[in-house]
Structure 1
Amino acid sequence: MSTTENTEPNVRRRGRRPAGQDTRTALVDAARAVFAENGYDGATVRAIATRAGVDAAMVNHWFGSKEGLFAQAVLELPFDPLELQKVLRNGPDDELGERIVRTFVTRWDSAGGGVFVALIRSITGHEQAGHVLRDFFQRFFSALITSIGSDHVPLRMNLCASQMVGLGMVRYVAKFEPLATEDVEVLVRAIAPNLQRYLTGAIG
């Protein structure tokens, strides 16, 4: 009897944390979906909580506010620029455009494009969303272009960003067909040559 009494509290403590983490994860996933559908202004705490299947009070409990949840769910991009640069630099410079298109589309597809869409749809109502998207692409492409020794780094960076943001817009936000559901390798063959010119070719 005494053994049961001593171990039961420990069992409860081990059980509470996963439940809490499950709630937090559910809220983050729901937030990404709702922000992607409605943007920052159109998303409500109640809608996010309903999508997650929890009480709206859990948003404040875990994140403090809608702003805090937005920061965790959307502003923390699922891309580490340093990790990406290591992956993409692993190969010939003249195939860099292919690796960029393949890597970004594959990762966006695996996440359903959710974070990207949420950022794009929130830019008009949340200034920080625009900063995050711009800063990521600036840091990522500036470092990558510098590492391969190309000139006109700021211009090339902007051109590369326009290509990838445009691709993301058409595939995940506007969902133009057939590009929205096209095979990744088809996109690589179609888009990479232009991106490669922005990276290493003559840009006038």
Structure 2
Amino acid sequence: MELVISSITTMFVNLILFSSVPAAWWFFRHRKEEGFFQWVGLYKPQLKTKWYVLLAFAVLYYFFYNFDFTQFIDPKTLEYIEDSSSISGNVFAGIGAAAILPAFIQNFIANGVAEEILYRGFLCKRFCSKAGIVKGVLLQAVLFGLMHNILYVIAGLDVGLWYHTLVFIFTGMGALLLGCLNEKLFNGSILPSILLHGTGNFIVSMLVAFS
């Protein structure tokens, strides 16, 4: 129960933290034009490309998400990360079914919804409107990757430059694919990226929980 309460707390903190700037930006500059949900991309997705393009993306994303980048990490560094209490996913390690509800809350809402609102819903759309879809998607991916580097620094984790580089590449590539999914394959809705983002993180949490 304590873990569930902690996940709910994290959910509210993240939603407020990641939505505050988009909400303020919309309120002062765009509230007379359209509602917040529509403006940020929280609306029904509609496929705007051929089915085989979506299939190709699905295959690409599958191989990307299943690529084990930890094979490039020094075993000591990997052990250090896996034992660190600063890594949120480590709280689910070995607890089995007890992790399902808190992991769902944390992965789909605290991370999936909150992060997608800020990065794919707010930043990506603002960048795309100013610099075009390709540059906009790339810019938000760079910022998303850097965010994860900053979080490791804030947590005080001494992981070294190489690990930071791998984290930046992996998370940035994920953000790049999610941005393309929304803006290129669908009609700008961020619901597809929320679903993929949340599902991917949830699967990782379940692997940790039942390992």
TM-score by length of 1: 0.35
